[in-house]
Each structure stands twice: as C-alpha cells, then as structure tokens.
Amino acid sequence: MEIILLGLTLLCGGYIGWAIGANDAANCVGADIGSGKMTLKQGIAITCVFSFLGAILLGSKVIKTVGKGIVALDQLEPQLSLLVALAACFGAGTWVIIATMRGLPVSTSHSIVGAVGGAGLAIGAPVIWKKLLDIFICWFLTPIGAAILSYLLFRPFRRLFYMVVPRKFHDPVVTFFIFATSIYLAFTWGGNDVANATGVLAGVGIMSSKQAAAFGAIAIVIGIITLGRKVIQTIGFKITRLTPLMTIVAEIASGINVHVYTIFGIPVSTSHSIIGAVAGVGLVKGIKMINKRLIGEIILVWSLTPLASGILSYLTIRFIKLFFR
C-alpha cells in the first residue's frame, strides 16, 4: 500500500506543478505581451528558463514552510504523511486546472495551503493555526501592497524616464526594461511558487528541498509550455490597457513584493501581486480604465480558492480511506 501511495504522491506532485505552470506563467509575462513589446514565444521561453533558476536558487525556504509549517508532515506516520501529500497535491492541482481552463488567474499558494490544511483535518492531524493566520494576513496584504507600490512608482518613474532617456533611445530602452523586469519576476515567481508544487514532497521526506525544487521546476516548465496561454491573455489584454512604461512599473512592484515574502519563507500569491500591481498602474489613468467585472470575478475565485482546494483534498482522503479501508 505504501509503495502505491508513494507512486501516486509523486504523480500528483508533478500534476500540481504542471497546473501551476499553466496558470502562473501569466504572472511573469502576461503584462509584457499585452504591452506589445514581447511575443508569446519569447515570454514562454523567459518564464521557463528563469523560473527554473529561481526555483533552484531561491525556493528552499518556502518549500520548508509548505512542507512542515502548516501540518508537521515529518512527524506523522509515513503512510499518513504520504496520504496528506497525495490529497493536497491532487486537490490543489485540480482547482488550479479548473480556473486555468476558464482563463482565470488564481493563487496556487492559496490552493496548496488550503489543500494541506483540509487534508490534515481529514486525518485528524494537528494544523498549525498560527502559521496559517500569518500566511492569511500576508495574502491579504499582497495585492494591496503591490497596487500601492505600483501606483506610487509610476509617475516618478515616467518623469525620470523622459528626463534621462533621449527620445531616439526611448524604444530600445523600454524594450530592455520590459525583458529585464520579466526576467526578475520569473525568477522571484520560481523561488516562491515551486514550493506550492513540491513543498509537501520535501515535507514527507521523499525528496530534499533542492531535489523538490528541481522536480517542481521541471513540472512547472511543462505546464507553461502546454497550457500557459489562456491566463496570459487575461492578464495581458483583459484587465486594463497597459502602456510599456506601465508594464515595467507593474512588474518592478510585483517582483519586489514577492521577493520580500520569499526571503522570509512565506508562500504568497504571485497572481495577487501582479494583478494588484496592474490594477495599481491602471488606476493612475482612472477607475474607468479597469475591467471591474473581470476583477470582481477574479476576486471571487480568489476567495473560494483555499476553501475549494481544502474541500477537494479532504474529500480525496475520505474517499481513499473508504476505498482502501
């Protein structure tokens, strides 16, 4: 039974990594593609390469939080810990794929954290509620912080750009910054979100943090290549009309936001961060420039994500325990 659980857990770890790549690639390059300065193929290539590097070089701290900070998986019986990991990966991955097929960006951090909590409750394992509360507070602050930062940065950045950069160099300098900020964003995304794919695999001892980062990064890259286009179109074209300078500022704000949380090992939503930043620069031109209906739909899905993933993982464990009693 344990060998079957081990194999299924690894399979589900790859499944959620694929789902994360499909949904979250847009967080790194959706705005760039929407600005017209980057092609879809260039965006996908940048995300694949630099999210992989971010996962390897920066991902270990958040992996530890997801793997042991919500439910102490390393302290459970091996079979129970594998069961939690399997159900959490399956529940979170399934919810993310449902949202992706609708072209909606969701928080994979919210999804895996809710799923781990739901799976822990299903087997009666102690959930570390204080850590969950800390994470929830950071979730609430993530889009707000990114929106405020991008709103405050845009006007001084634009003023400085036109003062310093000669007119004939505007286009090449803008293009350089578009690519540079998307690289930075992909790097920080890889560092934070690889934990959502494989943190539980490290938590149950199947892999080390570095091995889990590499495994998750590969799965994420496959997700980007196969299904990453849908949500890219939402962020790039449907929330607000972005000028190239707005895109640069949004990505600087979002990247700094996620990077700070990653340093402290806190899993936050890169989706929340980039959408908050995009909305923040959009507000510079007024609320009428924001697609309020779409923002409302995204916020609704965000609010449902931890609960839906938790329910899916809880039901997965109940089904497995019933079937394999």
Which span out of 32-41, 42-51, 128-137 was modeled with the highest average pLDDT? 42-51
Calculate helix-pair angle for 244-263, 2-35, nearest 10 degrees: 150
Mean pLDDT, the chain, integer: 82
Write out the two tokens for 64: 């530890």
Q: What is the mean pLDDT of residues 300-323?
A: 87
pLDDT of residue 18: 92
pLDDT of residue 314: 93
Q: Which residues, in sequence order, are CB contacts of 253 under 8 Å at separation 6+? A: 146, 149, 150, 153, 277, 280
pLDDT of residue 299: 78
pLDDT of residue 264: 82
User: Degrees (nearest 5) of the Cα angle 209, 211, 212?
Assistant: 65
Q: What is the mean pLDDT of residues 289-311?
A: 80
Largest CA distance in the chain: 72
Question: pLDDT at residue 287 above 60?
Answer: no
Of 42-51, 70-79, 140-149, which gets the smallest average pLDDT? 70-79
What whole-number distance in Å separates Cα of residue 26 and Cα of residue 220? 12
Q: What is the mean pLDDT of residues 296-323?
A: 86
Question: pLDDT at residue 204 above 80?
Answer: no
Question: pLDDT at residue 32 above 70?
Answer: yes
For the chain, percent of residues with pLDDT exceeding 90: 19
- 155 pLDDT band, cuts 50/70/90, is very high
Taking the model in full, what pTM does it have?
0.79
pLDDT of residue 179: 92
Residue 317, CA distances (Å) to 9, 66, 118 in order: 12, 19, 9
User: In this structure, which amino acid lies at residue 322?
Assistant: L
User: Degrees (nearest 5) of the Cα angle 202, 206, 210?
Assistant: 50
For the chain, percent of residues with pLDDT exceeding 70: 89
Question: pLDDT at residue 324 above 70?
Answer: no
Which tens digit of pLDDT belongs to each residue from 209-268? 778 778 888 888 888 888 877 777 666 666 666 788 888 998 899 889 888 888 887 777
Of 28-32, 40-44, 100-104, which gets the smallest average pLDDT? 28-32
pLDDT of residue 31: 72
Tell me the DSSP string of 12-71: HHHHHHHHHHHHHHHHHHHHHHHHTSS-HHHHHHHHHHHHHHHHHHH-HHHHHHHHHSSB
pLDDT of residue 289: 59
Which tens digit of pLDDT belongs to each residue from 58-70? 777 777 666 565 6
What one-character DSSP code corresponds to residue 237?
I
Tell me the DSSP string of 63-126: HHHHHHSSB-GGGS-HHHHHHHHHHHHHHHHHHHHHHHHTT----HHHHHHHHHHHHHHHHTPP
Closest CA to 91 of 120, 124, 131, 125: 120
pLDDT of residue 141: 87
User: Would you kindly state where each structural domain of the chain is located, as residue ranges?
Assistant: 2-323
